């Protein structure tokens, strides 16, 4: 990041105050995990837990694999806050900086913190899961960290977070729909509420990228192409439970098969953002910017073709059963 680029983010601090921080909810107006959980101080507590357990019987193992994977991804929140604080020009310089970028990062983290907390507690109460294995996986994942390949650049960083928030919005939205189909309306409400947060965060990050396209179209275009060439890696890519060296791929394969998050979604997200940011219509670019624009505008189509080929291939391949430690090594088709 050159001094000139750092100046852009300094200049945008006031803009972020008025256009980004406004997407956050006040603590007093926010939902908390306890709103969706049995009250441990109430006489009805054990009955309510029994209800959760009864409803959980209707949900298949493959669904639990996806939901647990999503919950573990949320629980690795320290990694994502570290990531945001690695970005030059927008990081929290003191830990309690009053600059708008830093305030966003802390409040965003506080909002996100409820996601893993709520899912973790609810899943624990179902009594169907190997919590020790799940906790070990969280421990491993936070210890491993994650390189989002943003190279300390807020241009790359905010493109990454836009994608991630939309991906989680889609994924939690799908687990909500499936919970409803399987008869657990409380779980559907939980996943739906989390999905709504992700949507709000997506809107904030996409607004930042939209602004970056307006003030510095060339760097933003080159950054978008750069991020897409590297591919947006999922934050749980280093998933490990102490047993399965290929756990992320196995979890992703289940998510793909039952439709919680698919390669088609990845292409759709790119297409959505190309439209949202009007990427094809941006003018005034230099040669490298135009080359980047051409690349990203053609990419959605290439991803779609690749996806169709993968679909055909997976339709013809033999299914394989994999044990997942999170569900006591019961086997699920991947």
Instruction: Return the number of the residue (201 or 250) whose C-beta is nearest Fe ion.
Output: 201
Instruction: Return the number of the residue (112 or 244) whose C-beta is nearest Fe ion.
Output: 112
| Residue 165 assigned to a binding site | yes
Query: At residue 284, what are phi and psi to the nearest 5 degrees?
Result: 75, 25
In the complex, what is the shortest distance from the CB of residue 238 to Fe ion, in angstroms, rounded to a whole number? 18
Please give the Cα distance from 205 to 40 (Å, whole number). Answer: 37
In the complex, what is the shortest distance from the CB of residue 285 to Fe ion, in angstroms, rounded to a whole number? 31
Contact pattern from residue 186 through residue 215 relative to Fe ion, giving x for each residue in contact according to CB under 5 A and a dash for the rest? ------------x--x--------------
Residue 301: Cβ within 10 Å count = 11
Among 92, 112, 117, 184, binds Fe ion (CB under 5 A): 112
Element (H, E) at 144: helix 131-144
Chain centroid to Cα 11, Å, comes to 29
- Under the criterion CB under 5 A, does residue 111 sit at the interface with Fe ion? no
CB of 289 closer than 8 Å to CB of 217? yes
* Start-to-end CA span in the chain (Å): 43
Task: Exactly one of 112, 117, 241, 265 is catalytic; name it.
Answer: 112
Task: Exactly one of 75, 111, 197, 265 is catalytic; name it.
Answer: 197
Nearest of 268, 274, 271 to residue 221 by alpha carbon:
274
Among 91, 115, 211, 250, binds Fe ion (CB under 5 A): 115
CB of 251 closer than 8 Å to CB of 175? no
Token reading at 120: 């973790």
In the complex, what is the shortest distance from the CB of residue 86 to Fe ion, in angstroms, rounded to a whole number? 17
Residue 108: active-site member: no
- Under the criterion CB under 5 A, does residue 75 sit at the interface with Fe ion? no
Query: At residue 282, what are phi and psi to the nearest 5 degrees?
Result: -70, 130
CB of 178 closer than 8 Å to CB of 64? no
| Residue 112 assigned to a binding site | yes
Chain centroid to Cα 195, Å, comes to 10
In the complex, what is the shortest distance from the CB of residue 20 to Fe ion, in angstroms, rounded to a whole number? 15
CB of 256 closer than 8 Å to CB of 62? no
From the list 12-20, 164-172, 183-191, 306-314, the region that binds Fe ion by CB under 5 A is 164-172
CB of 271 closer than 8 Å to CB of 300? yes
Residues 167-186 contacting Fe ion, CB under 5 A: 168
Task: Exactly one of 198, 202, 241, 265 is catalytic; name it.
Answer: 198
Residue 168: active-site member: yes
Residues 6+ apart with CB under 8 A from 157: 83, 84, 86, 87, 90, 148, 150
In the complex, what is the shortest distance from the CB of residue 108 to Fe ion, in angstroms, rounded to a whole number? 8
Residue 172: active-site member: no
Token reading at 102: 């830093």
In the complex, what is the shortest distance from the CB of residue 79 to Fe ion, in angstroms, rounded to a whole number? 13
Query: At residue 321, what are phi and psi to the nearest 5 degrees?
Result: -100, 135
| Residue 271 assigned to a binding site | no
From the list 110-118, 141-149, 153-161, 253-261, the region that binds Fe ion by CB under 5 A is 110-118
Residues catalogued as catalytic: 31, 74, 112, 115, 165, 168, 197-198, 201
What residues form the annotated binding site? 74, 112, 115, 165, 198, 201
What residues form the annotated binding site for Fe cation? 74, 112, 115, 165, 198, 201
Q: In the complex, which residues of this chain contact Fe ion (CB under 5 A)?
A: 74, 112, 115, 165, 168, 198, 201
């Amino acid at each position: 990041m050159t001094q000139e680029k750092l100046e852009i983010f300094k200049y945008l601090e006031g803009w972020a105050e008025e256009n980004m921080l406004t997407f956050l909810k006040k603590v007093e107006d926010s939902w908390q995990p306890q709103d969706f959980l049995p009250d441990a101080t109430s006489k009805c507590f054990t009955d309510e837990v029994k209800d959760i357990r009864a409803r959980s019987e209707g949900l298949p193992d493959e669904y639990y694999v996806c939901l647990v994977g999503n919950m573990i991804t949320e629980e690795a929140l320290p990694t994502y806050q570290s990531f945001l604080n690695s970005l030059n020009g927008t990081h929290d310089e003191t830990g309690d900086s009053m600059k708008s970028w830093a305030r966003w990062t802390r409040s965003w983290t506080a909002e996100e913190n409820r996601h893993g907390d709520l899912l973790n507690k609810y899943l624990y109460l179902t009594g169907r899961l190997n919590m020790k294995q799940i906790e070990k996986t969280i421990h491993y994942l936070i210890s491993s960290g994650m390189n989002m390949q943003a190279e300390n650049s807020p241009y790359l960083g905010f493109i990454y977070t836009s994608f991630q928030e939309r991906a989680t919005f889609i994924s939690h939205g799908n687990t909500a729909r499936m919970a409803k189909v399987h008869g657990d309306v409380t779980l559907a409400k939980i996943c739906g509420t989390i999905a709504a947060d992700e949507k709000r965060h997506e809107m904030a990050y996409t607004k930042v990228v939209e602004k970056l396209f307006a003030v510095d179209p060339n760097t933003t275009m080159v950054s978008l192409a750069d991020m897409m060439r590297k591919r947006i890696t999922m934050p749980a890519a280093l998933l490990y439970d102490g047993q399965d060296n290929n756990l992320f791929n196995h979890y992703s394969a289940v998510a793909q098969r039952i439709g919680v998050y698919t390669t088609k979604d990845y292409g759709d997200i790119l297409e959505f953002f190309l439209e949202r940011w009007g990427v094809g219509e941006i003018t005034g670019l230099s040669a490298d910017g135009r080359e980047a624009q051409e690349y990203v505008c053609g990419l959605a189509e290439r991803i779609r073709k690749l996806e169709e080929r993968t679909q055909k291939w997976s339709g013809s391949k033999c299914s394989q059963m994999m044990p997942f430690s999170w569900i006591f090594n019961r086997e699920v088709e991947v």
